[in-house]
Structure 1
Amino acid sequence: MGVVRDVWLVTNELLETVTAPWSPEEREERLKAVEELLRRREKLLGALRPPYSEEERALGRDIVAWNRDIAERLKAVQDEIRRDLRMAGAKRRANARYVHPYEQPLSLDGMFYDKRR
C-alpha cells in the first residue's frame, strides 16, 4: 500500500494548497508549490501497479474525488489570472491614451465624405 498511500498524501497536500485562499501577492509562490506537488504526484502515479487491496481502492476513490475539486479550483485560479491580465492591459492602454492623447489614430466620427464629383 506504500505507493497508493504516498499518492493519497501528496493529493491531500495538493488539495489543501489549492483550497486555501490565495492573495494576489502570494499567487506566484502558491503556483510554484502546486507545480512541485503535481510533479511529485505524477512520478508516484507512474509507479502504481495493480492489483489493489480494498483499502487501496478506498484511497483511490478519495483521490478521484479530490482531483475534481483540485481541477475546479485550478480552473478558478486560471480565470482570475486571465481577468487580471485583461485588467492590466486595459489599464496600460488607458494610461497610454492619457499620457499621449494626440498619438492615437484620428477618429473618423463626424467627418464628412462628399460622394459627388
Structure 2
Amino acid sequence: MSAVKALYLVTKELYDLLQKPFTSEERDSLIPNIEELLKTRQNIIEKVNPPYTDGEKQLGAEVVKLNKVIDEKLAQLKQEIQLDLNQLKKTKTSTNKYTNPYESVSSDGMFFDKRK
C-alpha cells in the first residue's frame, strides 16, 4: 500500500471519529484515540514522497479537504475543553470562598487609628 493511501485511510478514520457527536465524558475517552491517530498520521506524512500517480493526487486532494474539517473539529474540541477548565476553576474558587469566607478579606474601607 502506498504512503498516500495509508495517509488517506488514517485521515478518514480520524475524520469519522470527530464527526460523531459526543458528551464530555465520552470526549475524555476519545482524546487518547485522537492523539494516537494524529501520531500515526504524522509518521505516515513523513514517508510521503513524490512522484505521485493520478490516483494518489486525487487521494491527496481528498486528504486536504478532510484535513480542513478535522482542523475545525479539533479547534472546536479545544475550545470546549478550555470552557470546561474555566468553569471548573470558577467552581473551585466559589466553593473555596463558600467554605472559608474570611480567608481573603481585604483591608479596604477599614479605619486604623494611629493615635495612642
TM-score, length basis structure 2: 0.88
| Alpha-carbon distance in 1 for matches of 2:12, 2:76 | 19
- Compute the displacement of 1:112 (Å): 6.1
- Compute the displacement of 1:107 (Å): 5.6
- Compute the displacement of 1:3 (Å): 1.5
Partner in structure 1 of residue 92 of structure 2: 92
- What are the Cα deviations for residues 58-106 of structure 1, in whole angstroms up to 9, with x where unaligned? 1000101111110111000101111101100100110111111111222
Partner in structure 2 of residue 34 of structure 1: 34
Aligned sequence identity (%): 35
Partner in structure 1 of residue 2 of structure 2: 2
Task: Give the 3-state SS of the residue equivalent to 1:97 in structure 2.
Answer: helix
Q: Which runs of 5+ in 2 are unaligned?
A: none
- What are the Cα deviations for residues 16-62 of structure 1, in whole angstroms up to 9, with x where unaligned? 11121121112222110011111111111111111111111110001
Please provide the CA RMSD for this pair.
1.8
Partner in structure 1 of residue 79 of structure 2: 79
TM-score, length basis structure 1: 0.88
Alpha-carbon distance change, 107 to 18 in structure 1, aligned in 2, over 3 angstroms: farther
